[in-house]
């Protein structure tokens, strides 16, 4: 490692080293620091420590019009691989794997801070059995969307519910399906407006009620945290148009139309 080089040049040298083909990574490793008098095992420790730090914090390399490249994103303890196709196609994750394996073979540090779900898969576990938590999502906007999508507090209309006898089971299922589709595809702002329209504010209550009724537009009883959906919609497009129109009224009143 040449310490007289710029951080970008040092990082490119590291990447180039780990992109070399046909290297026996288990062979003895001799490290030296150009521009520093340090010698011995301490230099090897510094080398592997630097590698792990680069994986955690990023490389000073201009990839995809960015002067700083992070292979792993998120908060400490929940770092996940970047979703960038460019990084995958440029073999940067092969470099990361070689760095981690090389450090392991020589008794060096491991890559700390990864998500337990990622560690599970790296250690041979099945992706289907990995436990993924909300903290494993590095994008805060998407995380908020997921948090709102997880509306397991909704009491959906049941087939044996006789409170709204004017609506058939088919109608109840169709309206519930439209709402589920809207929640799954809505933006964070739209979901926030929906919750505010439904309850009167952005805080999710312990339970949310849904009723399918006769009427023209969606209405909400915020005191009882009940959303009432008319059963006349025959397609999702018209349903989406009306629900977006209705939830926008949450900024001017109680969300009642």
Start-end of CATH 3.30.2410.10 domains in the chain: 140-251
pTM beyond 0.95: no
pLDDT at 150 over 90: no
Residues 6 or more apart from 56 whose CB is under 8 A from it?
Answer: 72, 79, 111, 112, 113
Q: Which fold has domain 140-251?
A: Hect, E3 ligase catalytic fold (3.30.2410)
**High-pLDDT (> 90) share of the chain, %:** 37
- pLDDT band (50, 70, 90) for residue 231: very high
Look at residue 54 in the predicted model and tell me its pLDDT: 93
Look at residue 142 in the predicted model and tell me its pLDDT: 75
Question: 33-41 long-range CB contacts below 8 Å, 24 or more apart?
Answer: 33/1, 33/2, 33/3, 34/1, 34/2, 34/3, 34/4, 35/2, 35/3, 35/4, 36/3
pLDDT at 165 over 60: no
Look at residue 257 in the predicted model and tell me its pLDDT: 43
Write down the mean pLDDT value for the chain. Answer: 85
Beta-strand relationship, 219-221 and 226-230: antiparallel
From the list 115, 142, 120, the residue with the least C-alpha distance to 130 is: 120
- pLDDT band (50, 70, 90) for residue 211: very high
């Amino acid at each position: 490692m040449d310490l007289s080089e710029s951080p970008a040049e040092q990082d490119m040298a590291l990447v180039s080293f780990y992109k070399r083909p046909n290297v026996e990574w288990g062979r003895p490793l001799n490290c030296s620091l150009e521009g520093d008098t340090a010698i011995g095992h301490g230099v090897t420790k510094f080398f592997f420590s630097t590698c792990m730090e680069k994986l955690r914090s990023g490389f000073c390399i201009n990839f995809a019009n960015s002067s700083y490249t992070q292979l792993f994103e998120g908060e400490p303890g929940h770092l996940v691989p970047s979703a960038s196709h460019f990084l995958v196609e440029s073999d940067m994750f092969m470099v990361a794997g070689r760095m981690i394996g090389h450090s392991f073979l020589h008794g060096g540090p491991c890559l700390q801070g990864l998500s337990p779900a990622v560690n599970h898969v790296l250690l041979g576990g099945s992706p289907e059995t990995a436990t993924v938590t909300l903290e494993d999502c590095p994008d805060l906007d998407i995380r908020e969307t997921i948090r709102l999508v997880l509306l397991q507090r909704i009491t959906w209309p049941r087939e044996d519910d006789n409170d709204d006898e004017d609506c058939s089971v088919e109608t109840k299922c169709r309206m519930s399906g439209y709402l589920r589709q809207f929640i799954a595809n809505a933006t964070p702002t739209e979901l926030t407006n929906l919750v505010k329209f439904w309850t009167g504010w952005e805080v999710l209550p312990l339970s949310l009620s849904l009723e399918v009724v006769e009427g023209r537009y969606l209405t909400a009883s915020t005191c009882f945290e009940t959303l009432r959906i008319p059963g006349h919609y025959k397609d999702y497009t018209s349903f989406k148009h009306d629900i977006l129109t209705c939830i926008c009224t949450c900024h001017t009143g109680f969300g009642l139309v």
